[in-house]
Chain A
Amino acid sequence: MLDLRRVERLLSKRACRLVGDAIALAFFALVVLLPTVFLFAYVALRWDEVRYFVFENPVAGDMRWRRMLRAMGLSFEIAALATFIDLVVGIPVALLLARYEVRGKRVLDSLVDLPLGVPSAALGFSLFLFWGTSDGLNLLTRGFWLITLTHVAFTLPYIVRSSVGVIQGVDITYEHASRTLGAPSFTTFRTITAPLSKAGIVAGAILAFTRSLGETGATMVVAGIAETAPLAVVSMHQRRLVGPAAFLSMILVLVALGMLAAIRLLAEKVGLPISKVWPEAERKLSGRKPRLVRDALSLSFLAFFVLLPSCFSLPYTIRWWSPPARPERGVFYQVFLAPDEKWRALLAATMTSLEVAALATGINLVFGLAMAVIIVRRNWGRVCSLLDALADVPLVVPTAALGFSVYLFWGPRGLGLVNTGFWLIVLTHVAFTYPYAVRTMVAALRGLDPSLEHAARTLGAPPFTAFRTVVLPLVSRGLLASAILAFTRSLSETGATMVVMGTARTVPILVVVWSEASRQAAAFASVMLMAVCYGLLLALRYITERR
């Protein structure tokens, strides 16, 4: 019989540990990092092809390059505007959630996350129904403003969530100290709370900016004829313009990496003027009235521009479920009774989505945990912080570019091992959900008192046993949280999937495809996807808050 103690003692041996670490690192390099940045190699190796198609085409000249610049410009404009709106609306909401005791705060707290739980394609479709159709307000057509509003809707939670986190992380005693020293609440926020939480808020803003820059699924639904950079990647890929697509993806990745570096550098440096004080004006701003007005404005923006539009496909589906006058125009008929049998496609796509998400999550749980242990527990000095930073890379790479890069790496033009379809989707999803898994587990491991493990060791447990019996149970909630996060991200991804899917289909893809062909079916698929994702997100909150 296998003796567990002897096995664990063996596993604790230095050699075993080294092999384990090596596997974790090799996985990270081969499945996550290299495919993500393979673009660079491709562009360098096939520079002639890129130049031919992008800059010096005998037919089009540098028209493609100018089109890329236009797309990049549009992406930056939208990202900057959306981030600005996010900050203006998000910080008051974050302050409200972090510092004030108001009725309905818990409800507000979970509602803010709603757009995070709504897959972006479904979100884009909901916003389109709300703003652009006669079932909603019919105020905006597809294009710049609708894209901007959509991006605000799905980036706002990042700003609010990260700001609430950092503001709560600022010891409230500092604010009490400031108040007793004579500073009214506005001055206190400006001179104490804001400088102390600035790094986190800036990081949140940059994250929102990069998410907006790289978003594909929702944008595709609401863009109309406007073309953002990720949309250009997808469309060039679809027209087999591999060189140009690779080139544009590379630029997107470079910008994203630049942003990531900026998070780490800039956040420390941005200064706020704290030595000057304007007692009169700030006292007025601290009054009850300005605060109420501010809260009312930001909350109504949240309600009417973010929350309501985000889930508008739900009332739409209910209203058009089966209109008695023309049942063949209803959702029920379109999905279940129409001759093209959309429900079959939906069922197949649902199975594919769930299988991909489950596989990606499972793989990342194992390898992500191994990586998190390396980052937190190994004394490799700077290597650990480098790995920590590298693990975040897929987080900021626009998913369309990432999908394209993964396709180039594994596909016929790279290693030639995996062709487009189910397994390539899985590999892509593993790559971009990896950081979510690692990030959460690193946080969980860091939160654990190392002396607990030391205690287990002094009591006679070899390292592996100590890890299994003490560390693992204590971080199990962190594991579950990271699993749910990775699962929902995978379930709702569009851009990358679109590039690597071949003939396979996931639910978000169906939403995008059907948003043109059949609104009723798209609405139904959206609602279904939203229900699953938001449900999982609520479960996540429940798990993480119970600690």
Chain B
Amino acid sequence: MPDVRLVNVTRTFEGGRIVAVDHVNLHVRDKEYFCILGPSGCGKTTLLRLIAGILEPDEGEIYIGGKLMRGVPPEDRDVGFVFQTFALFPHMTAWENVTYGPRVRGWPEEQIERVGREMLELVGLYERADAYPSELSGGMMQRVGLARALATGASLLLLDEPLSALDAKIAFELRYEIRRLVKALGRTAIHVTHDQAEAMAIADRIAVMRKGRILQVGTPEELYMRPKSIFVAHFVGEANFLEGFVEKVGEEGSLIRLRGDLAIQVADKSQPLGAKVVVGVRPEVLSLEPGHLDRENALHGTVERVMFEGVITRYEVRLVNEDQVVITAPSMMARPFRPGDAVSVLMPHAKVFVFPYPERGLKEELAVE
């Protein structure tokens, strides 16, 4: 059964000058819908191509279904690959595209007919079987691409940004359809994307990747609720980051001194006394009160901008220490703050992440490119 295991996999380009995949260890379980999430250029597509056999790793080993894949060419790996650009053969009809895999494997004619029909029906395009790719819309093309990848019966499906070349609305529908099909057919899927909302919506588990390394693997909830690094907190969802140092560590948490002599009390006590830290907090966890309140964890500031975004309203507040924080609140419940209003930002004790200060600075750590 196709679980996928990567052991210390490394792949470089241009004679080692570019390290695309850097000692990656990963285990994708059988029948799992697994997403690899990362900004563009993080090496996630390279990783997928290594699994497919389109590229070979410089170091490390890849196992599919327990079998070592070194030297096994793509045609013998029994994987299905869905491409960002669809890669439908332009000189073949939808039907010929879908039945290409069975044909080059030399399946008997009646089986080819049956599978072709089944797969095109599965994606709802049987009546367009004779259309050439140029006659199909983007969404249809990717459906054919999906049918083609599924048609060989490959139990491992690799999807390389399958939705990013599509219109937002189509992509939104298709992402649930892909997951439904993969689950219905009992296949394992590895789906690469840069869109965190997409990954969160469909993945059983997600690996967040950056600069060729995997930063964290977990369910969408784990990544959102308990990010292990500043980058994961930043890339999965949204977060405010404030610099400070640990002033006191006690029974019920630690006291963190921020810039400009502000201080907050948080439940997290993972960092030692005196350590330079970054406090991360999601915008929906913060709340706003009018006026400068004299309370614990009430940070004083001024509303700079108010952005109404439909479901939520977003406030940008400049704290008295010149740090900026973003607060979101459900629009229907929000109070009518205006730019220039003096407010207090209330920071809870829990649901606040404290990270050690990154070696190369906060800005570098947050860089997505």
Contacts and interface: CB of A to CB of B under 8 A. Distances in A.
A173 B87 contact: yes
A274 B100 CA distance: 10
A193 to B, nearest CB: 10
A180 B81 contact: yes
Interface stretch (B71-79, B236-244, B297-305): B71-79
A277 B77 contact: no
B271 interface: no
Interface in B79-95: 79-81, 83, 85, 87, 89-92
A181 B87 contact: no
A214 to B, nearest CB: 33
Given A183-B100, A187-B104, A279-B105, A176 B91 contact: no
Contacts of A173: 83, 85, 87
A183 B101 CA distance: 7
B119 to A, nearest CB: 12
A486 B234 CA distance: 57
Interface in A174-190: 174, 176-185, 187
Given A195-B91, A277-B106, A179 B100 contact: no
A279 B101 CA distance: 11
B104 A279 contact: yes
A176 B96 CA distance: 17
Q: In which size bucket is the chain B interface?
A: 20 to 34
A323 B101 CA distance: 67
Given A171-B87, A173-B85, A180 B54 contact: yes
B328 interface: no
Nearest to A272: B91
Interface centre among B83, B148, B152 (most CB of A within 10 A): B83
Contact of B87 (A174, A191, A278): A174
Interface string B4-20: 00000000000000000
B162 interface: no
B79 A191 contact: no
A25 interface: no
Contact of A183 (B75, B96, B158): B75
Nearest to A192: B89
Contacts of A274: 91-92
Contact of A279 (B54, B91, B106, B148): B106
Contacts of A196: 89-91
Contacts of B106: 277-280
Contact of A177 (B53, B78, B81, B96): B81
Main SS of chain A's interface residues? Answer: helix
Interface string A274-296: 11011110000000000000000
A487 B49 CA distance: 45
B152 A181 contact: yes
Contacts of A182: 75-76, 78, 101, 104-105, 152
Nearest to A282: B104
B83 A177 contact: yes
Given A183-B100, A183-B104, A176 B75 contact: no
Contacts of B152: 181-182
A1 to B, nearest CB: 50
Contacts of A178: 89, 100, 104
B148 A181 contact: yes
A176 B105 contact: no
A505 B214 CA distance: 71
Given A180-B52, A180-B74, A183-B75, A277 B89 contact: no
A171 B87 CA distance: 8
A275 B93 CA distance: 12
Interface string B138-166: 00000000001100100000100000000
Interface of B: 49, 52-54, 73-81, 83, 85, 87, 89-92, 96, 100-101, 103-106, 148-149, 152, 158
Given A177-B81, A183-B100, 19 more contacts: A173-B87, A176-B74, A176-B83, A177-B87, A177-B89, A178-B104, A179-B53, A179-B54, A179-B73, A180-B52, A180-B53, A181-B104, A182-B76, A184-B75, A195-B91, A196-B91, A274-B92, A277-B103, A280-B106
The 7 closest A-B pairs by CB, nearest first: A279-B106, A181-B101, A179-B74, A183-B104, A180-B81, A173-B87, A177-B87
Interface of A: 171, 173-174, 176-185, 187, 191-192, 195-196, 274-275, 277-280
29 contacts: A171-B85, A174-B87, A174-B89, A176-B81, A176-B83, A176-B87, A177-B148, A178-B104, A179-B73, A180-B77, A180-B158, A181-B80, A181-B100, A181-B148, A181-B152, A182-B78, A182-B104, A182-B105, A183-B75, A183-B100, A184-B104, A187-B104, A191-B104, A274-B91, A274-B92, A278-B106, A279-B104, A279-B106, A280-B106
